[in-house]
Copies of this chain bind each other. A is one copy, B any other.
Amino acid sequence: MDQQTNLDRIQIVLVDTQDGANIGATCRAMKTMGITHLALVGNREYDENRVRTLALHASDVWEQAKRFPLLKEALSGSVLSVAATRRRGKFRKHSSLNPTQLAEVVQKTGDGLISIVFGRESDGLTDDEVAMCSQVVTIPTSDQFPSLNLSQAVQIITYCLYDTIKTYPEGANPVTQDRCEEAALKASEALDEIGYFKLGQEKLWTFRFLRDVFVRSALTESEIQKMEKVFVKMARIKAYKNTDYDE
């Protein structure tokens, strides 16, 4: 498979964009780099004229955009979801990619939808929105004025994708983010059963951490089943010991 097939499974997700002009400019930025799937999260109405004036010959990207009330729904079915943000937030991700590294990750990721998520013009993505993604991409910028316009950020990232991705990966077939979430939930519940968590928030943090690790490692269905089994079995042994053999 080829470059275009790989670019075609990427969707740009805009969360609660405030100005239609920025959506139009984003459509143009995307299409110049061969990426045409746009997802809009939120219920805002946009001024068609503002969108189309800046989209120019990329108005088809706008016309075919999918609308989702919630980010979670837009990400559903993704094998990889990446938050574009400068801020790491309180649910800090364990590593942040630069745009070229992101392109290399996409290049290697097997079959399935890849979502790259951009926040509001005024204040980007919330901590919870970043936490819903399994990775973070950060564009290096000058300390003197680090604030990129939304469509400029999309332009840099899509350029790096277009410039780096030359082929479609063969063989690998990772499960979706939803499936990873299900496994991470099962794992954290198993940990909970054996009294692993002391603090109220610990279970949520661990769940998110495990989910991100599962997504980033691009597990196949049989691998994620093996991973679930590790936690479930471990909890059973511990529970068994607790009730019958503990001294």
Contacts and interface: CB of A to CB of B under 8 A. Distances in A.
Interface of A: 25, 28-29, 31-34, 54, 56-58, 98, 100, 139-142, 144-149, 151-152, 155-156, 159, 162-163
Nearest to A98: B163
A165 to B, nearest CB: 11
B25 A149 contact: yes
Q: List the number of copies, as a whole number.
A: 2
A162 B146 CA distance: 12
Given A141-B162, A152-B152, A156-B159, 10 more contacts: A28-B145, A29-B149, A29-B152, A32-B141, A32-B142, A32-B145, A32-B148, A140-B162, A142-B162, A155-B155
A1 to B, nearest CB: 17
B159 A31 contact: no
Contacts of A163: 98, 100, 140
Q: Is the interface of A mostly helix, strand, loop or mixed?
A: helix
Given A140-B163, A162-B140, A163-B98, A57 B145 contact: yes
A155 B160 CA distance: 12
A145 B29 contact: no
Given A142-B162, A144-B34, A163-B98, A28 B58 contact: no
A64 B33 CA distance: 33
10 contacts: A31-B144, A32-B146, A32-B152, A34-B142, A58-B145, A139-B159, A148-B155, A155-B156, A156-B159, A159-B159
Contacts of A145: 28, 31-32, 57-58
A155 B159 CA distance: 10
B147 A32 contact: yes
